[in-house]
Structure 1
Amino acid sequence: MSELNFATTIEAVATAVPDRPAVVHGARRTDYRALLDRSRRLARYLHDHGLGCFAPRASLAGHQSGQHFLAQYLYNSPEYLEGMLGGYLARVAPFNVNYRYVPEELRYLLADARPRAIQYHARFAPVLAAALAGLSAERPVLLQVADDSGEPLLPGAVDYESALASVPPSVPAEPSPDDVYALYTGGTTGMPKCVLWRQADVAVTGVGLVNRRAGREWDSVAEVVGAIGPRAGRMLPCAPLMHGAAQWGALLALCTGNTVVFPDQVHRFDPAGVWDAVARERVTQMSIVGDAFGRALVDELARHPRDVSSLKFLVSGGAALQPSVKEGLASLIGGLRLMETIGSSETGVQGAAEGVDKSFHADSRTVLLTEDRSGFLAPGHPGTGWLASRGRVPLGYLGDEAKTSATFPVVNGERLSVPGDRARLLADGRVELLGRDSVTINSGGEKVFAEEVEAAVKRHPDVADAVVCGRPSARWGAEVVAIVAPRSGATLSADALLANCATTLARYKLPKEIIFVDRVQRSPSGKADYRWAAARALLRG
């Protein structure tokens, strides 16, 4: 069983293939030698300012951290990956910040995490200044990464490049498999929470750093390095690195000697720019987040074909990818292997489906809990249960002992991760995912899974995007509402859409109202914003 940490692994890879490109962003090329040098300098700088590990993992509860935190308030960039690796080298825990936050939301996050350092792009300086003004905690170290915004340095901030140049590239600490990997949830149904993992655990269950050929975990860092191929694969994460799946894909690429490619445009999702980068850089693997990315990519490639034959593998996770989108991608890219995964920040990958299959082959660690969470459901059980993971699961939620106990219960002497997804376990062991319980709608005594209705709505060819939520109802308790963005130029009526949904949904699941909008609001990672949807539905209620 492997007990790896990201810092030691990537450092060993960089030593083995120093001249190989590690990160490509437009005209910028950062090889592994430069990535390691710059990350070591950041580690030194953080260490010299008092950041690091101050308590051993064994002395702490699951919701506690013995390491200082580094907030990463950045667009996708080489600096983001330097911040992650530099933090790990210093035994500091980097964490993701949603760059769309307004000052009040950012203030909540910073108060919750209490970072001792913040690495941020200059264009975010005004929002950061407003957020910091409302905090009583000690002012953190501010590392401002220059961009084309023209924003001056905040008072007390240090230019990122100047900080790196001021210290030698000497590693100040000895990283451990017990070191924390910190990831904030998206907060689309409530306030974001910071999930704490041991690096050795998330490396296996989230990142997928395993010996796939042998079907086991790596024995050592030396074995990982020994498996590096003669040529680097090229991996492009479409989603922002503030999304866990994008981070995991990038970390896997760096831990295995491959190259991370960013499209030129990182301030927003630009499907044309993504395909341009795939064609120009001969990208071999790409990750997306469901329909919000997939539909736009299909439409762009169909309108403006390019030579993207280098792309051999595409993986989608974090949101549903409809069969029509999968078929569109497969028809446009010959020989493409397309994989859809299920999982969460709290579980890592729990299962995968290849091609247009709608059910998922469960990971060996994936189980289904009974309604009362007292035992397990056998394959083929007709009822629904809680989708759970066993084995390598997170430590807990930062600072929240009660939520840690609720989400990571002990069942029959075994600690599990149960983030709230409902599912069925089919007779052949496959998983039929129904959706997150927090967005389930209890209408007239029946449970309606919002994501199941969303899938039915999106099957109509004139629907570009949709999100489904509940709304209070005097008659039903709660009623189903669909918020729908039609395809450009399409004429779509509510009656036609309901008739189409009725071919796959029971009558009680059909939306009581369909609200047409120009655009469905989603997070930058492509996940549905259910709080926005609920507010939009109430406006019409």
Structure 2
Amino acid sequence: MPGEWNFADVWEAIAATTPEAIAQVHGQERITWQQFDAAADGIAHALLEAGVQRQDKVALYLRNGPAYLQSAFGCMKAGLVPVNTNYRYREEELHYLWDNADAVAVVFHGEFTETIEAIRARCRKVRLWIHVDDGTFPCPAWAQSYASLAHAAVQRARAPWGRSGDDIILIYTGGTTGRPRGVMWRQHDLYMASNTTDDPPQARLEHVRSRVANAAAQRKTPSGLPAAPLMHGTAYVFAGTILSRGGTLVTLTGRNFDAAELLTTVQRAAVTDLCIVGDAFCRPMVEALDAEPERWDISGLKAVSSSGMMWSDTNKARLLRHAPAVMLIDFLNSSEASGMGRAITSSRQRTASARFTLGRNAFVIDDAGRPVRPGSGVAGRVAVRGAVPLGYYGDPKKTAETFPVIDGERCAIPGDFARVEADGSIVLLGRGSVSINTGGEKVFPEEVEECIKQLAPVRDAVVVGIPDERFGEVVAAIVESAPASDLTAAQISAHVRERLAGHKTPRHVMLVASLGRGPNGKADYPALRQRVADWLKAQASSRETRPQPGMPA
């Protein structure tokens, strides 16, 4: 629609306003806004010359690095749709994703060349492959060189169909069950949902130029680092927000998360805004800081935000000891909804874990679709109206379930359950898709996980439901404790029983060296449920074969 936001328009305006400012930092690479803009023009020209059509999909099969956002920018310039791709997927998963997304082009790092070659003949919709050199496999004959294309542009890339706020950004999310689904965001809606500037809905690009110029003159432009891979929605949206503020996007070079690399990069690149995913990132950070308190200076950090996973009070307090001036922000967001709620913690303001202030357009409804009365104790689903996605790409049934029309407005209800307190704040209980039904009582794993994490030796915990003949399901916990800890399963169960209802107490506690969370910090609940089931089966088998008293050994 006319007058709406498009990321390409905004970033071009910023590049024209502060061309020599740094847009991207990756290791030793420093890329100015002018270079960022020019590289994206080169990729846009290459896509257009390949004969793409308006809103065709382009898959980004990339690790973190300059090419990721440059490619996304190029897609947006050409009126195309960037599609994130989980680089941990195997051949069948990749083929499913690209086929489901109708991808016509793929930008990929060289290390993935062999994986692509195994399925390339089946990817009949893909007409252009763009190889990003990472020092592994050279550019194959069937692909074009990213570097050659990115440096070839001599003029602004403009598609004949133009751009608009209706252009789509497609964010594929694995969720907790089933195959990945592509969440369709209008660019205008995603811009407004993630807007941390003062850009009103109908402002013009002159407003952006003025805002960015003023921030540059006052040296207030942010330097943002997403700790998770850009292939995940949390990091991707955070990166777009930093760039839309005229800031510098800093990315880590390591293939796996390394707290020492993160802290070193925060100091060296003068990072002001850090995006993590809960304790999976915060805990290694504070452990490194506690072990070597004089090694890193992170006093330049202004904000550390987390989304997609609960963040314990204990680790927040530990981080604040090393950076007392920083603001810690919990966002209750998902790929399907933004602005459901937030919680702010600082040295002067403490907010209990899992407690959020509802967003301006958020509300909680019960099973009948009625608003939950504050203080009633009823668990309801968090919903948000306003700037929400259009739905899931190619999945009208799931779209209707997750994005219903309520009182004449399309809303997003991704499945987060919460209790509304008397003061209007909410206590997050967890996702309904992983809730446990034990004897007719509903248990939300996150509530029990947070309780377990209050024990000092506990480093991480996941709670799942295990089939049970009597109760249907019972609660089981997988707990990762500190090395050399003497914490026992009985102590964990007793701790929970003292603080939560009896039916929420884990009947089974599996102590492990590592939970093995993904790079986005999220737990694979189905896989962990199977892990507990296999452990219980092995235990039962061991008991059956163990000699009984009075029997020969």
1:60 aligns with none
1:23 aligns with 24
Structure scoring higher RCO (CA < 8 A, sep ≥ 6) equals: 1
Q: 2:327 aligns with which of 317, 332, 337?
A: 337
Q: Which moved more, 1:292-301 or 1:512-521?
A: 512-521
| Cα separation, partners in 2 of 1:218 and 1:505, compared to 1, 3 Å | farther
2:493 aligns with 498
CA contact (8 A) 2:222 2:245 kept: no
CA offsets 1:426-447 (integer angstroms, 9 cap, x no match): 2322121111000000011100
Name the SS of the counterpart of 1:43 in structure 2: helix
Distance 2:202 2:500 in 1: 45
Does residue 311 in structure 1 map to residue 301 in structure 2? yes
Q: 1:474 aligns with which of 469, 475, 482?
A: 469
Does residue 33 in structure 1 map to residue 17 in structure 2? no
1:14 aligns with 15
2:222 aligns with 233
Q: 1:89 aligns with which of 77, 84, 96?
A: 77
Distance 2:246 2:202 in 1: 15
Deviation, 1:142, is 0.8
1:221 aligns with 205
CA offsets 1:317-344 (integer angstroms, 9 cap, x no match): 1101000010011111121111111011
Deviation, 1:479, is 1.3
TM, length-normalised to structure 2: 0.91
Does residue 172 in structure 1 map to residue 158 in structure 2? yes
Does residue 382 in structure 1 map to residue 377 in structure 2? yes
CA offsets 1:103-137 (integer angstroms, 9 cap, x no match): 1221221221121011111111222222434x363
Deviation, 1:381, is 3.4
Letter in 2 for 1:153: C
Distance 2:486 2:3 in 1: 56
CA contact (8 A) 2:59 2:107 kept: yes
Does residue 159 in structure 1 map to residue 150 in structure 2? no
| Cα separation, partners in 2 of 1:276 and 1:519, compared to 1, 3 Å | same
Gapped regions of structure 1 (runs ≥ 5): 54-66
Letter in 1 for 2:449: E
1:458 aligns with 453
2:523 aligns with 528
1:517 aligns with 512
Deviation, 1:473, is 1.0
Does residue 138 in structure 1 map to residue 125 in structure 2? yes
Deviation, 1:410, is 1.3
Does residue 366 in structure 1 map to residue 362 in structure 2? yes
Gapped regions of structure 2 (runs ≥ 5): 537-553
2:231 aligns with 242
2:4 aligns with 3
Name the SS of the counterpart of 1:137 in structure 2: coil
CA contact (8 A) 1:41 1:164 kept: yes
Deviation, 1:163, is 2.5
CA contact (8 A) 1:420 1:436 kept: yes
2:170 aligns with 182
Name the SS of the counterpart of 2:498 in structure 1: coil
Q: How many residue pairs are counted as aligned between the two chains?
A: 520
2:47 aligns with 46
CA contact (8 A) 2:339 2:361 kept: no
Does residue 148 in structure 1 map to residue 135 in structure 2? yes
CA offsets 1:41-79 (integer angstroms, 9 cap, x no match): 1111111112241xxxxxxxxxxxxx1111111111110
Deviation, 1:209, is 4.5
2:480 aligns with 485
Deviation, 1:217, is 4.3
Letter in 2 for 1:249: F
Name the SS of the counterpart of 2:157 in structure 1: coil
Does residue 199 in structure 1 map to residue 187 in structure 2? yes
1:63 aligns with none
CA contact (8 A) 1:264 1:277 kept: no
CA contact (8 A) 2:382 2:415 kept: yes
Name the SS of the counterpart of 1:503 in structure 2: helix
CA offsets 1:208-255 (integer angstroms, 9 cap, x no match): 24418xxx5462222122112022321111111112121111111111
Q: Which moved more, 1:344-353 or 1:156-165?
A: 156-165
Name the SS of the counterpart of 2:103 in structure 1: coil
CA contact (8 A) 1:209 1:217 kept: no
Q: Which moved more, 1:427-436 or 1:71-80?
A: 427-436
Q: Which moved more, 1:495-504 or 1:377-386?
A: 377-386
| Cα separation, partners in 2 of 1:309 and 1:165, compared to 1, 3 Å | closer
Letter in 1 for 2:206: A
Distance 1:443 1:269 in 2: 36
CA contact (8 A) 1:211 1:218 kept: no
CA contact (8 A) 1:114 1:137 kept: no
CA offsets 1:363-403 (integer angstroms, 9 cap, x no match): 11101122122x32243333111110111111110001111
Deviation, 1:525, is 0.7
Name the SS of the counterpart of 2:448 in structure 1: helix
Name the SS of the counterpart of 2:386 in structure 1: coil
Aligned counterparts, 1:413-452, within 5 A:
413-452=408-447
CA contact (8 A) 2:103 2:126 kept: no
Name the SS of the counterpart of 1:172 in structure 2: coil
CA contact (8 A) 2:481 2:511 kept: yes
Distance 1:338 1:16 in 2: 31
Deviation, 1:484, is 1.4
| Cα separation, partners in 2 of 1:437 and 1:261, compared to 1, 3 Å | same
Letter in 2 for 1:145: V
Rg larger for: 2
Name the SS of the counterpart of 1:300 in structure 2: helix
Distance 2:465 2:195 in 1: 36
Q: 1:399 aligns with which of 394, 397, 414?
A: 394
Distance 1:136 1:182 in 2: 19
TM, length-normalised to structure 1: 0.93
Distance 2:53 2:142 in 1: 21
Distance 2:88 2:185 in 1: 25
Letter in 1 for 2:285: L
1:261 aligns with 250
Letter in 2 for 1:456: C
